[in-house]
């Protein structure tokens, strides 16, 4: 099994990626999944501006054409050299599993395939095919821990010649985590705001990032998990009055349920108590939210978490397809889950 752990990825991208033609990147941190997929795409050396050498497809493109992925991976390039096929939005769809099984059992692929997937449970179809295959590199992406977040802060601030005080660093860490892309964007926004000032202090965090967190989606997500319908109404009203897209609340709730699903699976598989799984997979969660997450882990079972995750995924898709109805779609989905939670 060629599974690349988080701490191994940077070295793998530099020196080991060229040994593989197929990469499966998955996990609850969608920002990190996308970031690592983009890095591997650059490392292949394939021009991303050349439509004959690079093909980006969505998993929905395979529904009407089940053989499309296999055809593209094995097709000869029009002008020679390897093509890059970049598949996004994957999970455990049958056309994908069928194609991956053929690729795993067969000779080396003619072209390079990068599969971006969501949070895949242990034993799920795609992982069952990819993990035993020596020709496939599988790269899990979980939420950044404190060490990774500190490294991200140092890297981004160093590029602007900035340092950060201990108090400011701790305050910033409390506001990051869960999604690599969102964390990186917040740090870059802070660095731009403090450009030329030398040292970032606690007040800078409050000035530039504090306003965003005052209309944080966490309030709405916590209301959903607590079964607090009036609290959800208040949180959504606050989001709407701040002109913040309600889609972000829906997205945050989906990420939270994906994380709960992962934590619950870990508890059941390894017979772990809630406190222990919170110390590992839940260490990035802000201390004020930890009691709510712990209660949710005790109250929700795996089947219910999977069901509500699917409900949220469907709501996210529908809200993108019918953007004029986004607030209504999001609120109805969140309200339904809040009612389930209260039961």
pLDDT digits (tens, 9 = 90+) for 102-141: 999 988 888 999 999 888 888 889 999 999 998 899 999 8
* 268 pLDDT higher than 90: no
Residues 30, 182: Cα–Cα separation, whole Å? 10
Helical (H) or strand (E) element with 13? helix 9-15
Residue 78 pLDDT: 63
Q: How confident is the model at residue 213 (pLDDT cuts 50, 70, 90)?
A: very low
Describe the chain by its helix, strand, coil percentages, rounded to 5: 60, 10, 30
Residue 214 pLDDT: 42
In this prediction, residues 58-71 reach a mean pLDDT of 84
* 212 pLDDT higher than 50: no
- 3-class DSSP assignment, residue 230: helix
CA distances from 200 to 168, 172, 211 (A): 7, 10, 17
Q: How confident is the model at residue 40 (pLDDT cuts 50, 70, 90)?
A: very high
Q: What angle do CA 244, 247, 250 make, to 5 degrees?
A: 120
Residue 296 pLDDT: 87
Q: How confident is the model at residue 249 (pLDDT cuts 50, 70, 90)?
A: confident
Residues 328, 323: Cα–Cα separation, whole Å? 10
Q: Map tokens 């980006």 to a residue.
A: 56
Chain-wide mean pLDDT for the chain?
84
Q: How many CB atoms lie within 10 A of CB 193?
A: 14
Going through 17-173 in order, the beta strands assigned E by DSSP cover 22-26, 54-58, 84-90, 112-117, 136-140, 163-164
Q: Please say whether the beta carbons of 343 and 227 come within 8 A.
A: yes
Residues 321, 330: Cα–Cα separation, whole Å? 13
* 3 pLDDT higher than 90: no
Q: Which residue has better confidence, 210 or 43?
A: 43
Residue 1 pLDDT: 54
Q: How confident is the model at residue 180 (pLDDT cuts 50, 70, 90)?
A: confident
Residue 97 pLDDT: 92
Residue 112 pLDDT: 93
Residues 138, 215: Cα–Cα separation, whole Å? 37
- The alpha carbon of 168 is separated from its chain's Cα centroid by a whole number of angstroms, namely 26
Percent of the chain with pLDDT over 70: 93
* 49 pLDDT higher than 50: yes
Q: What angle do CA 222, 285, 217 make, to 5 degrees?
A: 40
Q: Please say whether the beta carbons of 99 and 74 come within 8 A.
A: no
């Amino acid at each position: 099994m060629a599974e690349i752990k988080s701490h191994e990825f940077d070295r793998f991208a530099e020196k080991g990626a060229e040994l593989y033609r197929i990469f499966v990147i998955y996990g609850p941190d969608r920002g990190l999944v996308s970031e690592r997929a983009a890095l591997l795409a650059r490392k292949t050396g394939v021009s991303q501006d050349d439509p004959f050498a690079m093909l980006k497809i969505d998993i929905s493109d395979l529904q009407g054409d089940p053989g499309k992925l296999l055809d593209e991976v094995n097709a000869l390039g029009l002008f020679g050299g390897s093509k890059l096929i970049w598949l996004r939005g994957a999970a455990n769809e049958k056309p994908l599993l069928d194609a991956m099984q053929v690729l795993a059992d067969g000779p080396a692929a003619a072209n390079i395939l990068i599969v971006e997937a969501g949070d895949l449970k242990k034993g799920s179809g795609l992982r069952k095919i990819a993990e035993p295959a020596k020709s496939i590199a599988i790269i899990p992406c979980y939420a950044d821990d404190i060490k990774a977040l500190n490294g991200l802060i140092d890297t981004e601030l160093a590029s602007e010649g900035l340092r950060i005080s201990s108090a400011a660093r701790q305050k910033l860490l409390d506001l990051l985590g869960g999604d690599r892309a969102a964390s990186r964007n917040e740090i870059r926004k802070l660095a731009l705001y403090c450009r030329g000032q030398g040292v970032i202090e606690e007040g800078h965090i409050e000035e530039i990032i504090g306003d965003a967190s005052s209309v944080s989606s966490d309030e709405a997500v916590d209301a959903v998990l607590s079964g607090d319908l009036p609290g959800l109404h208040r949180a959504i009203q606050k989001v709407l009055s701040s002109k913040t897209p309600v889609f972000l609340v829906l997205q945050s709730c989906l990420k939270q349920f994906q994380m709960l699903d992962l934590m619950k699976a870990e508890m059941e598989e390894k017979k772990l108590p809630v406190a222990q799984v919170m110390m590992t997979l839940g260490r990035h969660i802000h201390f004020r939210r930890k009691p709510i997450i712990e209660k949710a882990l005790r109250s929700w079972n795996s089947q219910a978490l999977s069901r509500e995750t699917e409900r949220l995924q469907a709501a996210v898709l529908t809200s993108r397809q019918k953007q004029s109805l986004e607030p209504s779609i999001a609120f109805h989905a969140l309200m339904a889950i809040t009612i389930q939670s209260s039961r």
